[in-house]
Structure formats: C-alpha cells, structure tokens
Amino acid sequence: MRKIKKLVLVSGAFLGAGCAGTSPNLSTPQMQTPSLGGGLGARSVASPAPGATAEASLAPLETVATPEKTFVQPPYLQLGNRPTLGGKTEGLELLWIVPADTKLDEWSVETRLPGAAAATTSWTKIKGKLSAKPVAVGVIKPELVVSAPLEGLAPGKLFDYRILRGDKPVFAARARARKTAKEPQRFVLFGDCAQGTDGQKKVAAQTLAAKPDYVFITGDIVYGKGLASEYVKNYWPVYNAETAGADGVPLLRSTLTVAAPGNHDIRSTTLEKTADGFAYFYYWSQPLNGPAVASTKFASPLGSTDTKAFLTAAGERYPRMASFSYDYGNAHWTVLDANAYMDWSDPALMQWVEADLKAAQKATWRFVAFHHPPFNSNAEHFNDQWMRVLAPLFEKYGVSVVWAGHVHDYQRSYPLTFLPTKPRDTKGAVEGKLTLNKTYDGVKNTKPNAPIYIVSGAGGAGLYKNLEKGKLQDFTAKYIDDTHSLTVVDLTDKTLDARQVGADGKELDHWKITK
C-alpha cells in the first residue's frame, strides 16, 4: 500500500462530420463556449486536445443525401469486442438500425483516408462481413441492428466511411481511429443523462464542442427503465441528430462512445413488465472479456416471462457485456456492473478484477468505472456503498481515478484508501477504515498517493440537491449540485488534466494529476 499522510476516519474526436457529410455549426447560440475562469489556467471547453493537429488541409467530406426512411436509426460508432489495442492497425464497430424486412445483402460499407482533395484517396470496401441482430420486442416495430467491422484503420488517424445501399451511397461521416499509447488523448465523461431535459441537450452540445476522442457514460444511459422506446425518445435524437441544434447534435456517428450499465439500464424492470427493457444488450456493442457469469447469478434478472425474443436480440452480450475492460491509448479501463445483485466480494469476481488490473500494469493510467459511487455525500443513495469492497484492489494496483454516476451531481473526493471491516449490511452500507490525503489539492500538489473517486452524474437527469445530514462527508473535496455538467479529461504520459464543465460552458472544477 502506498504511503499517505493519514487522517483516519470510520465511515459506514469528436471530429464534426454529421450525416450526409455536414459539419455542426459551432456558431449557434447553444454551441458557444465562453472563456472560463479560475483553476489551473482555465480555457474554453472547445480548446484543442493536447497534441491535436489542425488537419486544416484535409478536404471536407462530400455531401451524401440520405433518402427518407433509409434508417430507423442512423449509424453510430462503438468499440465492439475489441478490448486491446490493435497494433499497426485499429478497428471500430459501425452500427445502424433498419426495418426488419430489409435485406442485409443490400448494404455495404467503404472507408478511406481523407486527403487534401476529394479525389486524393479512393474508397475501399471493408473486408469483414456485415451481420444483423433482429429486434422484435415490446412496442418497437421489428428491426435489425446491423453491425459492420471497420478494420485496418490507421491508429489515431482520421478516416472517412460511407454506407451504400445497392451501389448508391446513402450516408457518410468522418471519424478517428482509436489512438496508440504514445498519443495524447481527450475523453468526455458524464452519466445519468438521457431523460429528454434541456440539461441533457446542453451537456450534449458542450460534449460536441469539446471534440473528444471518445465519450464514456457512467451508467443510467436512458430513463427511466432502459427501454428501446426510451432510446427512440431521448437518446438517439439528442446524441445522433442530423445537424447540431438546440435539441441535439451529430455526436455518435463520428465519436466512439463507451458506457457502463446503470440500474435504470438493466435493473429497473423485468421483461413481463416492459417487453422492450434491457435495450442496453442489443443497442450496444462492447468487449465481451468480463467475468463469465451465469444468467441466474450475478446477472440482471429478466423475469419469468418468455425471454426468447430478447435473447435472440441480445445474443452473447447478455449477461457478459455488463462488465468488461478495454484499452484506449495509454489508459486501461476496468468497467464493472455495480448493480445491487452483484457481490464483488465473491472470490471468483474479485479474482477477475485483480487479474485484469494486474495485467494492466504497463498502462500509464488505470481507471475503474461503474455506476454506483462508493463514496458520496448525498442522502440519496448514500448507503449504496457495496463497491467499497474493491477499494483495496484499486489501491494495490495503482488505479488513478474511480469514475461513477448514479448521484445526479458532481463530486470529487480527496485521494483515499479504504479497508472494509464489516461485510455489506442489509441497506448496502460497508463499514471500514478510511484514510484521506488532504495535502493533495490538484493545483499546487498534483501527486495523489491513492485513488480519487469522482461522481459525474449530472449529464441530464433531474439534479440532486440533498446533502447527507446537510453537510459534506469528510472525504468530499469538491461538490456541485446546482447545474448539469460533464467531465473533460486530457491525458498524456505525464499528466491527467480534468475539468468539470457546466451546461453553460463555465468551468466548475479543475484538477490535475502528474506522474
């Protein structure tokens, strides 16, 4: 265990290309980002990421007209089952949704490297085969979630892709391949988001303006039961709009998005209550390298109704995709299902976490992300502490930051260690010995000696404003509950520079870690 000045307590890229090759209009009022004050030398949320190049000489993507009713939902980029970096080439997964009676052999995908002129490079058809999962659940009309593997991408480089139906291009966008360990990166992180609020839409606009290489959602992706119909109402229109505007932005088609599932995604319903529930398992494509769990234990219960349609749509993703790990550049992410049915003190589950973190010791940055925060100053969800049982492993294997959501505000802890002294009680609380490092301030002292715990759950759902017993807990260094916000993080080999940015673009918190 690392040495800490002790205070002992007892505590119970983005890249801008839209559909049809259009670029978002960053001059519209909702996209403006004022200069920010305070912190470590504040800057606009739209400031370029470290190491970013202007790439101004590249020709814009040609306009592609999309005929009406081509897509049920337009294309979006995900990681797919690619937990590790690809080496000399990289890959991503391109998904889109079409009516169930659409023939898969009608579709094809091409990619190219953008050049200084439109004709500089030619389009090349992808080598991998397209696949499709049928979704026919609840109130959703039967549809196909089509998946196309984008392999052979140049790491960290921009690429264009287009989708053809028959021989006719019907969609095009520009994106960036996953970066290597040697490249600086920027990610945006928030959770508890898609509820259709103005706050959600403003956070989406600020995310677009930040131009991240990827976005991470800390759970509760859609409200309030993780339904396919809720994705249709509150997720796709806001994050995958045709053009940037007050109600949505074209983010998902050009920016990799990764997410941890929350209770509102995979715990708040059963299939007999809402047949289109658990949509996380068929709209997301993420690594399948998590712990092997049986569907009857340590997995979200589906209910007693007929599950055939759901299991057909979900395939191997249920329940395996609820926990996983992946690499992006010089960062390793361990993503865990933190719902109440999970008992991470179980030896097999704990062994998986330890093995994953141990194998990631060469990564400059090690992050753990899940939905339910172990340390939280709000009365709401205060006893949802069961993830504290893993704190000793986070400390042992040098985790820099533990990211969470669930509580609808922003909180930053002091660097801390925690040693559980009692098992989780019936309310979810875990007692133990808490040791804080209050000499770290993230400004003058930027070398924490223990993990920092972040709650970034103000992505759009209704805000919480109820502190536990009216005061901050001793482990809380920063607390903001009066505005929706997002976390913008820039990483290099030596520094983590994090800013909490409000829905209006103002900087709310700024802290740094140096190696």
In the beta sheet, which residues pair with residue 173?
161
Structure tokens at 158: 């921009």
Predicted TM-score of the model (pTM): 0.91
174, 158 Cβ separation under 8 angstroms: yes
Q: Which residues of 103-116 are buried (b: 16+ CB within 10 A; e: fewer)?
A: eeeebbbbbeebee
User: In the block, which residue shows the tokens 């997002």?
Assistant: 486
Tokens of 9: 């307590």
Give the single-character DSSP code of 245. E
DSSP 233: I
> CB of 399 within 8 A of CB of 448?
no
H-only helix segments in 254-381: 263-266, 280-283, 308-314, 347-359
pLDDT in tens, the chain (515 residues): 443 333 344 444 334 334 444 333 333 333 333 333 334 555 566 666 665 565 778 888 988 999 999 999 999 999 999 999 999 999 999 999 999 999 999 999 999 999 877 656 789 999 999 999 999 988 889 999 999 999 999 999 999 999 999 999 999 999 999 999 999 999 999 999 999 999 999 999 999 999 999 999 999 999 999 999 999 999 999 999 999 999 999 999 999 999 999 999 999 999 999 999 999 999 999 999 999 876 678 899 999 888 999 999 999 999 999 999 999 999 999 999 999 999 999 999 999 999 999 999 999 999 999 999 999 999 989 999 999 999 999 999 999 999 999 999 999 999 999 999 999 999 999 999 999 999 999 999 999 999 999 999 999 999 998 888 778 999 999 999 999 999 999 999 999 999 999 999 999 999 999 99
Nearest to 280 by CA among 237, 339, 342, 225: 225
Q: By the 8 A CB rule, do 346 and 390 touch?
A: no
Q: Could you please report the per-residue DSSP string of 132-179?
A: EEEE--TTSPPEEEEEEEEEEEPTT-EEEEEEEETTEEEEEEEEEPPP
CB contact at 8 A, 504 and 64: no
Distance CA 14, CA 176 (A): 8
